[in-house]
A and B are shown apart, each in its own frame.
Chain A
């Protein structure tokens, strides 16, 4: 009996040991992303694992809200842990995270010149902080205006270009009593509102913060005017439902796709969904164009975009695998797959010339011009705070707790204080 149990124990230990050996062969790298609603991530990972035997990518699907995912990564990094070896990082996360030393500088592993050669410039620029590369870009977003081609054609008006034309057309075409509003956008108090507002601010000739001179310019008359226009969409021209104050990207897209708005400000991902979504009532009725701008200015699009960054606290023997995956996501194959499955507006230029891609989404021909002319949000480690200040006071102006002038003055005051505090410590 004793012998038998000894034998069983030995067998058990041996099994465990051999399992351990089998596991040791594979390197498992974790990846933090948003919810994989279309399954594109699982396809990408399957393709990667097939091409790179020995590396396993473990997908961790975080919440939809990007702010929440950012905080997940921040919390883990504060504890100097790496539960997320690779993090799918927004362009604005790079300065604050890199400045804190929580991202792995990957300049030694990737060729910057190659990144510049194959991708749009802005997403690569945004992956660099103080001379070091921290991210391999994969997508390149830019704010756009979607409009209802059918409604504009029926009324015989051309798509408006300037703010003045836009307000006129939107007021003329809307019919809120019957559930058709002029314009919706991301109006909730968060990053999305800031992205949209910056486009109007720049398009009106103003600016928020210049990271080079460290000057804050949000209390200029042009900037106040931009805020006034934003407030006017709800309160003066009444082309926007007050509920826009709770809209993020998805809410505004659904609103537009259910045929309740003439104009929509959103990111490029909307195009393919508005044409293919089962729920969409606007199939074949949508036009796309650049943002509006003031007379004598030109349109600006806020640069967004995602890419793979690597945690500073990753185990050393996993670094190579993580880099491989990061570069894989920027490869032609992976980028095309992402487009085919999910309609991603990828960072690689050559995708926008692929005949198959253009056949599926003819709009990519226009998009590539827009993507060459985007502008980033100020690249600074205190951007999360500057963004919070901006969205907070914009909301105060939009809910008429403050006049646009008061709101912008307070914005400038707090932003200047934040800048001074950060650089004087």
Chain B
């Protein structure tokens, strides 16, 4: 049966309409509303005052720096550790399926719940981690993970890495399994070492997977909220005050709706920059490695 093009387009929109409507309501509308809050003041006049205030707000720059630091550190750690775990889980061994399932548990847990768990683990007076470090004589006294500014940053990084490594490993594992076995066999015939196979075959062929994973992870890391809110609420001081908790505080605690919306707009800008950057890397690599 031949369908007319106009009918085809009609049905196309019909079938897409639920998705389009939901995206309009839950994505586009809040974004537009946010922008309006950021540029229209209480009297209904257009103003750039809130952007200006945000740019002159040291707390905003502090939060930006913390967010960028958090994103780069966690994403790099997750990529490296996730890659190693993906290789391990890709190896053939007994009980591989069971291991893969168990391995996914951290990712399956809701962040707020796992963060409460980590809060308990990090607590100084009774938490197992500080005391284990102390008993194993790594530290002179049980360290204060959640109340020391430097350590609290370490704590949120550890918790985030623990949660997200399985996700990264899962994506990379899928990429690994898409590499045809024959390529390894032919490298075997040419007498390549295991290391050589990794460097010259596995990693180049995984680049598309890496890029998708990086994209996912950066977007999420830039919006990190629940983990920090449960573990430290941005404290001590504002040592772990990433952008999302800062915006939340601004809007819902201080009721500075316009200022919060302006800050949110800048956060969106950061994310756009990251996406463009990754796209740029992607096109550059495309020239080198062909289709990605």
Task: Give chain A's interface residues, CB within 8 Å of chain B.
Answer: 67, 70-71, 74-75, 78, 96, 100, 188-190, 241-243, 245-246, 382, 384-385, 388, 392-393, 395-396, 398-399, 401, 421, 425
Residues of A close to B144: CB separation below 8 A: 242-243, 245
Secondary structure at the B interface, as helix, strand, loop or mixed, is loop
Q: Are B149 and A246 in contact (CB under 8 A)?
A: no
Residues of A close to B236: CB separation below 8 A: 189, 245, 395-396, 398-399
Known contacts A100-B255, A401-B237; 11 additional CB pairs below 8 A are A71-B252, A74-B253, A242-B147, A243-B125, A246-B123, A246-B146, A384-B254, A388-B249, A388-B254, A395-B237, A425-B42
**Are A243 and B147 also in contact (CB < 8 A) when A189-B236, A393-B237, A396-B236 are?**
yes
In this assembly, does B235 line the interface, its C-beta being within 8 Å of a C-beta of chain A?
Answer: yes
Residues of B close to A242: CB separation below 8 A: 124, 144, 147
Residues of B close to A382: CB separation below 8 A: 254
Residues of B close to A395: CB separation below 8 A: 235-237
Which residues 229-260 of B sit at the A interface, judged by CB distance below 8 A?
233, 235-239, 249, 252-257
In this assembly, does B226 line the interface, its C-beta being within 8 Å of a C-beta of chain A?
Answer: no
**Which residue of chain B has the shortest Cβ distance to A398 in the bound complex?**
B236
Q: Are A401 and B149 in contact (CB under 8 A)?
A: yes
Measured CA separation A190–B234 after assembly (Å): 11
Q: Are B149 and A399 in contact (CB under 8 A)?
A: yes
Measured CA separation A396–B239 after assembly (Å): 9
Measured CA separation A241–B233 after assembly (Å): 21
The listed residue (A384, A392, A399, A421) touching B255 by CB distance below 8 A is A384
Q: List 17 A-B contacts (CB under 8 A).
A: A67-B253, A70-B253, A71-B252, A74-B252, A74-B255, A75-B252, A243-B147, A246-B123, A246-B146, A384-B254, A388-B253, A388-B254, A395-B235, A399-B148, A401-B237, A401-B239, A425-B42
Q: Are B254 and A399 in contact (CB under 8 A)?
A: no
Interchain nearest-CB distance for A372 vs B (Å): 32
Which residues 137-154 of B sit at the A interface, judged by CB distance below 8 A?
144, 146-149
Interchain nearest-CB distance for A416 vs B (Å): 15
Interchain nearest-CB distance for A194 vs B (Å): 13
Q: Are B147 and A245 in contact (CB under 8 A)?
A: yes
Residues of B close to A243: CB separation below 8 A: 124-125, 144, 147
Measured CA separation A190–B254 after assembly (Å): 14
The listed residue (B53, B125, B233, B257) touching A189 by CB distance below 8 A is B233
**Which residue of chain B has the shortest Cβ distance to A71 in the bound complex?**
B252
**Are A384 and B147 also in contact (CB < 8 A) when A242-B124, A392-B237, A399-B237 are?**
no
Residues of A close to B237: CB separation below 8 A: 189, 392-393, 395-396, 399, 401
Residues of B close to A399: CB separation below 8 A: 147-149, 236-237
Measured CA separation A74–B125 after assembly (Å): 34
Interchain nearest-CB distance for B245 vs A (Å): 12
Measured CA separation A129–B26 after assembly (Å): 37
**Which residue of chain A has the shortest Cβ distance to B130 in the bound complex?**
A243
Q: Are A392 and B253 in contact (CB under 8 A)?
A: no
Residues of B close to A190: CB separation below 8 A: 233
Interchain nearest-CB distance for A66 vs B (Å): 12
Measured CA separation A279–B235 after assembly (Å): 31
Measured CA separation A190–B237 after assembly (Å): 10
**Which residue of chain B has the shortest Cβ distance to A189 in the bound complex?**
B235
Residues of B close to A246: CB separation below 8 A: 123-124, 146-147
Interchain nearest-CB distance for A365 vs B (Å): 35
Measured CA separation A71–B148 after assembly (Å): 27
Which residues 198-240 of B sit at the A interface, judged by CB distance below 8 A?
233, 235-239
Residues of B close to A100: CB separation below 8 A: 255
Residue among A188, A242, A399 with the highest chain B CB neighbour number at 10 A: A399
